[in-house]
């Protein structure tokens, strides 16, 4: 059970929308609202501690550095990593590109012998899945183009579950990277991480997990999951925009060449060549988004104070109302698994297609009632295509989502077919 007054921590949730209607915010999967603790952390950083991190010889620089590195420690703790295994990145997209770009640079010979283990080329394979958000598909697709490696993918069934029958063929001795999402941003399905990681380890492939939709909603422990890399964004876990993180096993991070080059990341620079710091500094060239990092640390602490088990339990309750309610409406197709026996694999996301009504039109009717949802393809075009549609309407929750919010979504959705004169 969450604190009953928890919603009071989120100033934005008290505002009204569209002629004084209370806000029903069900778009946390796109970006979450921020608790006062996060907003205050950023403001206090600017009001009291702002200074250049790891550069100045003055008190403010020391305080700023402490806060910046302290935040790194908080984020590491949230996901069970060590301090030096968390690299700041602008968002999950940038974090994933950091890995793909680093492998691409290694393949071009950058980083010398130290990075030789990352080199890939013609004859090698990269494997992804059909459920991926474009952020965890396009960088791998383009890495394949750049290196001559082959991209393969694990398909999904009509419920959106990964089909693992051919896993041993799709992930084979030539596979160098297996990149997959922890939780689908469309179906809410939790991927079978242990099966996939076990197979990757058998063939010596690196594993890259997209934790965007899992870290904010479930207990996640990178050591227990045993993945090599994991990317996630602050703004989906109650933190600020402009910051995210990459977890990487330290020995891998210390060998992977950077994808962005510049000052602060290097030890010795001559006119001809450069040697890099160890991780995480080698990846943090240029002035970092310090206040945002401090905000992300505050978000991690806020979630740990609630307890990720409690967050998950709350969201399962919301998922049952959202998904259970939507599944029963005539003329509405719930994407992903339907039915109680599957509930354990799903977080609080409900994406629907309404027969004969375009997602934009569905979203408009909901918006008129003050209900904020996402419409469109949610950066998952291949999965929509697999489901035979071009877009959907998605409700997604977070700690502040109430059962009434979830019911408001279902009730409003029920009115949609009639509004557009479609016979359900």
Partner 1 sequence: MSSLEQMYQQVIMDHAREGHGRGLADLNLVQVGESHQVNTTCGDEIRLRVGLDGDRIESVSWEGQGCSISQASVSVLHDLVEGEDIAEAEAAMEAFRDLMQARGEELGDERDDLLGDATAFVGVGKYPARIKCAMLGWAAFKDAMIQARKDQS
**Residues found near ligand PLP in the complex (CB under 6 A):** 91-93, 133, 135-136, 181, 185, 210, 212-213, 233, 235, 244, 379
Tell me: does residue 411 bind partner 1 (CB under 8 A): no
For 74, residues 6+ apart whose C-beta sits below 8 A from its C-beta are 297, 298, 300, 301, 304
Q: Of the two residues 186 and 255, which places its CB atom closer to ligand PLP in the complex? A: 186
What is the DSSP annotation of 300-327? HHHHHHH-HHHHHHHHHHHHHHHHHHHH
Q: Of the two residues 259 and 408, which places its CB atom closer to ligand PLP in the complex? A: 259
Element (H, E) at 167: helix 167-170
Q: Of the two residues 300 and 329, which places its CB atom closer to ligand PLP in the complex? A: 300
390 binds, among partner 1, ligand PLP, none (CB under 5 to 8 A by kind): partner 1
Residues in contact with partner 1, counted by CB under 8 A, come to a total of 20
421 binds, among ligand PLP, partner 1, none (CB under 5 to 8 A by kind): partner 1
What does the alpha-carbon distance between residue 124 and residue 174 come to, in Å, rounded to a whole number? 5
What does the alpha-carbon distance between residue 389 and residue 299 come to, in Å, rounded to a whole number? 36
Task: Give whole-number Cα distances, 287 to 42, 89, 96, 303, 361, in Å.
Answer: 17, 12, 20, 27, 43
242 binds, among ligand PLP, partner 1, none (CB under 5 to 8 A by kind): none
What does the alpha-carbon distance between residue 294 and residue 309 come to, in Å, rounded to a whole number? 24
Q: Print the binding letters for residues 305-344 with partner 1: x by CB under 8 A, - otherwise.
A: ----------------------------------------
Q: Given the residues 379, 389, 414, 424, select the one marked as catalytic.
A: 379
Binder to partner 1 among 40, 62, 361, 411 (CB under 8 A)? 361
Tell me: does residue 16 bind partner 1 (CB under 8 A): no
Show the 3-state SS of 235-283.
HHCCCCCCCEEEEECHHHHCCCCCCCCCCCCEEEECCCCEEECCCCHHH
210 binds, among ligand PLP, partner 1, none (CB under 5 to 8 A by kind): ligand PLP
225 binds, among partner 1, ligand PLP, none (CB under 5 to 8 A by kind): none
What does the alpha-carbon distance between residue 123 and residue 84 come to, in Å, rounded to a whole number? 34
Binder to partner 1 among 267, 309, 364, 418 (CB under 8 A)? 364
What is the DSSP annotation of 364-407? HHHHHTTEE-EEE-TT-HHHHHHTT-S-EEEEE--TT--HHHHH
Q: Of the two residues 49 and 377, which places its CB atom closer to partner 1 in the complex? A: 377
Tell me: does residue 261 bind partner 1 (CB under 8 A): no
Tell me: does residue 31 bind partner 1 (CB under 8 A): no
CB of 244 to ligand PLP, least distance (A): 6
Please list the residues that pair with 168 across neighbouring strands. none
**Span from 117-125, 209-217, 343-351, 357-365 in contact with partner 1 (CB under 8 A):** 357-365
Task: Decide if 379 is catalytic.
Answer: yes
Q: Is 169 helix (H, G, I), strand (E, B) or coil?
A: helix
CB of 21 to partner 1, least distance (A): 11
What does the alpha-carbon distance between residue 125 and residue 363 come to, in Å, rounded to a whole number? 40
CB of 315 to ligand PLP, least distance (A): 15
| CB 118, CB 106: distance < 8 Å | yes
CB of 130 to partner 1, least distance (A): 17
Q: Is 228 helix (H, G, I), strand (E, B) or coil?
A: coil
* Token pair 């958000």 in the structure block, residue: 133
Tell me: does residue 159 bind partner 1 (CB under 8 A): no
Instruction: Name the site residues for partner 1 (rule: CB under 8 A).
Output: 18-19, 357-361, 364-365, 368, 375-377, 381, 384, 390-391, 419-421
Catalogue the active-site residues. 379
């Amino acid at each position: 059970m969450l604190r009953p007054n928890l919603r009071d921590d989120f100033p934005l949730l008290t505002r009204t929308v569209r002629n004084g209607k209370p806000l029903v915010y069900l778009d946390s999967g796109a970006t979450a609202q921020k608790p006062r603790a996060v907003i205050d952390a950023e403001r206090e950083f600017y009001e009291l501690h702002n200074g250049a991190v790891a550069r100045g010889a003055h008190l403010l620089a020391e305080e700023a550095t402490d806060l910046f590195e302290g935040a790194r420690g908080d984020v590491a703790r949230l996901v069970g990593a060590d301090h030096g295994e968390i690299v700041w990145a602008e968002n999950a997209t940038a974090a994933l590109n950091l890995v793909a770009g680093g492998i691409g640079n290694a393949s071009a010979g950058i980083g010398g012998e130290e990075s030789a283990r990352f080199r890939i080329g013609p004859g090698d394979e990269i494997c992804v899945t059909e459920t991926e958000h474009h952020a965890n598909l396009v960088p791998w697709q383009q890495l394949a183009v750049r290196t001559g490696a082959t991209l393969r993918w694990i398909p999904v069934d009509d419920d959106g579950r990964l089909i693992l029958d051919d896993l041993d063929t799709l992930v084979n001795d030539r596979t160098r990277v297996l990149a997959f999402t922890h939780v689908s941003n469309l179906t809410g399905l939790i991927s079978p991480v242990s099966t996939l990681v076990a197979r990757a380890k058998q063939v010596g492939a690196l594993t890259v997990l997209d934790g965007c939709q899992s870290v904010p909603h479930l207990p996640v422990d990178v050591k227990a999951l045993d993945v090599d890399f994991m990317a996630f964004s602050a703004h989906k876990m109650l933190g600020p925009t402009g910051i995210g993180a990459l977890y990487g096993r330290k020995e891998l991070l210390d060998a992977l060449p950077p994808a962005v080059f510049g000052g602060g990341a290097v030890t010795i620079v001559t006119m001809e060549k450069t040697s890099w710091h160890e991780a995480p500094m080698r990846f943090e060239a240029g002035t970092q988004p310090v206040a945002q990092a401090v905000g992300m640390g505050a978000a991690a602490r806020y979630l740990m104070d609630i307890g990720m088990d409690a967050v998950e339990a709350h969201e399962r309750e919301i998922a049952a109302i959202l998904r259970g309610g939507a599944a029963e409406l005539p003329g509405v197709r719930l994407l992903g698994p339907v039915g109680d026996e599957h509930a354990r694999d799903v977080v609080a996301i409900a994406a629907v297609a309404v027969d004969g009504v375009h997602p934009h039109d569905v979203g408009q009717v909901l918006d008129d009632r003050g209900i904020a949802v996402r419409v469109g393809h949610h950066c998952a075009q291949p999965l929509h295509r697999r489901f035979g549609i071009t877009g959907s309407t998605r409700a997604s929750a977070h700690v502040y989502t109430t059962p009434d919010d979830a019911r408001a979504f279902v009730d409003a959705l029920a009115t949609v077919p009639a509004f557009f004169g479609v016979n359900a």
